[in-house]
Amino acid sequence: MGKDIYDSFSSVRNVFHEVDDAISFNLSKLIFEGTEEDLKKTENTQPALMTVSMAFVEVMRKEYGFDLSEKAKYFAGHSLGEYTALCAAGALSLRDTARILRTRGRAMSEACPTGGAMAAILGLSIDQVEEIVKESCSEISKVQIANDNSVGQIVVSGREEAVKKATEIAQSRGAKRAVILPVSGPFHSELMRPAIKILEEVLSDVEFRSPSKPIIANITAQAETENFKELLLKQITGRVRWVESIRYAEAQGVSQCIEVGAGKVLTGLVKRISPSMRLVNINSLESLDLLKDL
């Protein structure tokens, strides 16, 4: 992730090295040379993905004269990506963002030691999955919608037995697929509540500035310019309303989305939510040439 631009630009190397220093850990080496097992630990994954994304944001601005803070109407990110959005919009410093995500990852991985699960349900509507969630819950076995990712792709999260029951019901209701995901915890569920206190402590001494452009927040699916601490704390146990977020942007006149950073997962989601949206991926040295047409 990001090795081609790391080798090509000193501005990118500065981003990686600043993150390493902020978290007192050689994350750069892990990203480029580490094992897949170590990189998949959420305490590493979260700051790593942010670092790569911010490296592209920086090289776009410094080397290509494409400043997202001037070009974009809104910023948005999916789950941990919301922190990157805040950083890219200038509401958070790079050092604070790295430090928060390192702590957030650890807190989330330790929040549910008794176990939990997440599952993707494909081919059913949000209303159908809401009904399934209700049927899968009991006093000791709860599940909730964690991510409304795209039309026909919804993720549920909670106690393992409840999540398994939800997949069984979904399959009986005609879901194309209902599969348990290989994740380390029941993220965006009430089982993550212990992580809120830890995140609250690290956020207590963080200064949030006014963003250059509004952030479409996961928890509200609306443009926000303040109260980010509260929104981020609610996000830990709340739903990522990605479908509503993209539809909100579209309703405000947005016709193009630029996904910045490793991969193109969000582009695939947006394509299904809003087929008319123009989509651009900036995720490699070669892809930076696309900026000249934007």
pLDDT tens digits, 158-178: 999 999 999 999 999 999 999
End-to-end Cα spacing for the chain: 24
Predicted pLDDT at 139: 66
Q: How many C-beta neighbours within 10 Å does residue 261 have? A: 25
pLDDT category of residue 122 using cuts at 50, 70 and 90: very high
Residues noted as catalytic: 79, 188
- Same structural domain for residues 206 and 228? yes
Residue position matching structure tokens 């977020």: 245
- Same structural domain for residues 222 and 90? yes
Q: Is residue 269 part of a domain?
A: no
- Same structural domain for residues 13 and 94? yes
Point out which residues pair with 256 in neighbouring strands.
278
pLDDT category of residue 112 using cuts at 50, 70 and 90: confident
Q: Is residue 278 part of a domain?
A: no
- Same structural domain for residues 26 and 166? no
Query: What one-letter code names the amino acid at 100?
Result: I
Q: What is the mean pLDDT of residues 173-199?
A: 95
Q: Is residue 285 part of a domain?
A: no
- Same structural domain for residues 95 and 224? yes
Predicted pLDDT at 136: 87
- Same structural domain for residues 216 and 121? no
Q: Is residue 272 part of a domain?
A: no
Predicted pLDDT at 115: 77
Q: How many C-beta neighbours within 10 Å does residue 112 have? A: 22
Q: Is residue 273 part of a domain?
A: no
pLDDT tens digits, 221-271: 999 999 999 999 999 999 999 999 999 999 999 999 999 999 999 999 999
CATH number at residue 42: 3.40.366.10
Q: Which residues of 1-27 are buried (b: 16+ CB within 10 A; e: fewer)?
A: bbeebbeebeebeebbebbbebbebeb
pLDDT tens digits, 50-75: 999 999 999 999 999 999 999 999 99
pLDDT category of residue 184 using cuts at 50, 70 and 90: confident
Q: What is the distance between the alpha carbons of residues 37 and 104, in angstroms, rounded to a whole number? A: 19
- Same structural domain for residues 46 and 65? yes
Domain that holds residue 171: 117-184
pLDDT tens digits, 5-14: 999 999 999 9
Q: What is the mean pLDDT of residues 197-214?
A: 96
Predicted pLDDT at 237: 97
- Same structural domain for residues 85 and 34? yes
CATH number at residue 176: 3.30.70.250
Structural domain count of the chain: 2
Q: How many C-beta neighbours within 10 Å does residue 28 have? A: 20
- Same structural domain for residues 86 and 20? yes
- Same structural domain for residues 223 and 100? yes
pLDDT category of residue 113 using cuts at 50, 70 and 90: confident
Q: Is residue 284 part of a domain?
A: no
Q: What is the mean pLDDT of residues 96-112?
A: 95
- Same structural domain for residues 13 and 158? no
- Same structural domain for residues 138 and 202? no
Q: Is residue 177 part of a domain?
A: yes
pLDDT tens digits, 209-223: 999 999 999 999 999
Among 184, 200, 235, the domain-final residue is 184
